[in-house]
Amino acid sequence: ISILCGKKKPRKDPKLEAFMEKFGHLAPTSYSYSEVEKMTFSFNHKIGQGGYGGVYKGKLDNGRLEAVKVLNSSKGNGKEFLSEVISIGCTYHVNIVSLLGFCLDGSTRILIYEFMANGSLEKFIYTKKQTIPSLEWEKLLEIATGIARGLEYLHHGCNIGILHFDIKPHNILLDEDFHPKISDFGLAKLCRSAESIISMVKARGTVGYIAPEVFLKNFGGVSSKSDVYSYGMVVLEMVGGRRNVEVQAGNTSEIYFPHWIYKNLNLDGKLKTFRAMTKVEEVIARRMILVGLWCIQSKPIDRPSMSKVLDMLEGRIIDLQIPPMPVLSSPSRSAKHSQTNDSHEIVSVTTTC
């Protein structure tokens, strides 16, 4: 992507031009920086901040609210920007956040999304604040099912397979009715088929959600099953109500999060409750735990597809068996503390076997 020089019109990336030409009026709208500045009232209302940059609330001329994501100028040569525009720009699904437009003005890169009133999922599953309501088990199951539908669409419903590679609660947005939508496609990769094994020069993702095969090649090839692993971790966090890299047993030792979850299942399959719940809620929580544990199996071949995950969540597979105990242990405490929530760096992970 070239930088604006003088008053010359900036050259667009050939891939972006080809994408815009292919999808025509269906492609997201290209805005100038001055237009974005106007719709955000000079970037007056900031609603979020991450390693990528800031997010601002804005409004289109038709009155529709939007979230404006301004990427840091340090984002290299703009590969993540291109990835996000091209991958999400051709998706149309109720559980995928809509990209309304973008701005490529010199070195400035801005993404314009539909506004999601309730923000990200992490706000509702980690917090203990009285001002933020805890979600009922039925709603948690609906959210888990919606995320699964969105991923199943990315893997199999598009004209070309899309692997997200950064599924985590921070990237699951909730609308005013708490319907989930997958967002942030900066690390996504396109592939001919979601079942295809893809090559990766460098591992990608966020600590705690990265599938073993992404950084340890002896576990298998990288494919859609890598997203399945990340999804499983998100589901387990929804049940446990805490981050998977922060579970501790006392002040001096650690328990790998899935092991902590696993220990709450008795040998007879009954759930040791995390909080007070009815019989119906216990059934929901148990189902979500079993689905999550199956999704985080160490070998990709042992994980279900997202289609099968939906069958498991929606009750078409009634007798869910308890999967084997996960074998990976947690990253070291020092490594975890060196990471931020939005980091895409990889830390070393050891195995228990």
Q: What is the pLDDT of residues 246-267, one digit of tens each?
A: 544 444 344 577 877 777 665 4
- Is residue 310 within 8 A of residue 170, CB to CB? The reply is no
Claim to verify: residue 93 and residue 133 sit in the same structural domain:
no
Residue 3 pLDDT = 32
Claim to verify: residue 33 and residue 153 sit in the same structural domain:
no
* 276 burial type by CB count under 10 A (0-12 exposed, 13-18 middle, 19+ buried): exposed
Distance CA 345, CA 197 (A): 22
How do residues 110-166 score in pLDDT, each as one tens digit?
999 999 999 999 989 876 665 566 789 999 999 999 999 999 999 998 877 899 999
Side chain identity at residue 320, one-letter code: L
Distance CA 3, CA 118 (A): 36
Prediction pTM value? 0.83
At residue 226 the predicted structure's pLDDT band, cuts being 50, 70 and 90, is very high
Claim to verify: residue 110 and residue 189 sit in the same structural domain:
no
How do residues 82-98 score in pLDDT, each as one tens digit?
778 887 887 889 999 99
Respond yes or no: is residue 166 known to be catalytic: yes
Please pick, among 13, 61, 105, 166, the residue that the annotation labels catalytic. 166
Residue 339 pLDDT = 39
Give the mean pLDDT of 50-61: 87
Claim to verify: residue 259 and residue 290 sit in the same structural domain:
yes
Q: What is the 3-state secondary structure (H, E, C) of 246-302?
A: CCEECCCEECCHHHHHHCCECCCCCECCCCCCCHHHHHHHHHHHHHHHHHCCCCHHH
- Is residue 137 within 8 A of residue 281, CB to CB? The reply is yes
Residue 155 pLDDT = 94
Claim to verify: residue 93 and residue 145 sit in the same structural domain:
no
Range scoring the smallest mean pLDDT among 178-192, 225-239, 292-306: 178-192
Residue 205 pLDDT = 84
Claim to verify: residue 289 and residue 161 sit in the same structural domain:
yes
Residue 169 lies in a domain: yes
Domain with 177 in it: what CATH number?
1.10.510.10
Claim to verify: residue 199 and residue 281 sit in the same structural domain:
yes
Claim to verify: residue 158 and residue 82 sit in the same structural domain:
no
Claim to verify: residue 89 and residue 204 sit in the same structural domain:
no
> Is the model more confident about 58 or about 197?
58
Range scoring the smallest mean pLDDT among 6-15, 23-32, 38-47, 50-59: 6-15
Residue 224 lies in a domain: yes
Whether residue 19 has pLDDT greater than 50: yes
Give the residue numbers spanning the domain of 40: 14-114
Cα dihedral 9, 10, 13, 19 sign: negative
Task: Give 97's contacts (C-beta < 8 A, 6+ positions apart).
Answer: 88, 113, 114, 116, 173, 181, 182, 183
